[in-house]
Structure 1
Amino acid sequence: MIFPDRLRQLREESGLSQRQLADRAGLSLTMIRFYEYGKSGPPGYSLFHLADALHVSMDYLYGRTDRRDVD
């Protein structure tokens, strides 16, 4: 499970709580918890907002590449 681990790692590196990430990405705290615990995968719009809030590409966040930068 790459996505849940990467999401948590990036959130912690950014110094954000789950609540702060939820607010920054415009998502609910419940959804952030589901994503981090691997209970649910994000739909495209959530992935976009999470990647934007964490300043990484969607491909990196979802584990499709090891490059963090946004093209």
Structure 2
Amino acid sequence: MMKTQNEIIKQGYDALINSLGITDTIRFIQYFSSGKGDYTKERHQWLDKKTLVDVLQEIEKLSEEDTNQYDEIIE
């Protein structure tokens, strides 16, 4: 039997609450907040001014500078 989207969401929340508790579940969900604004429009304001070479150079520079860029502590 296929679950509805609402059933899946409820089951996911229940799993988080059972695993993390209510407070940490809220902190976890807030971490993935969708934010505000129009990302596509804002992206064009800065990305359209860059060449592919510029973007590639920035990626290479970031990877050299910060090898732990995805290590993050949620407080």
TM-score bin (small chain) = under 0.3
Normalising to structure 2: TM-score of the pair?
Answer: 0.23
Normalising to structure 1: TM-score of the pair?
Answer: 0.24
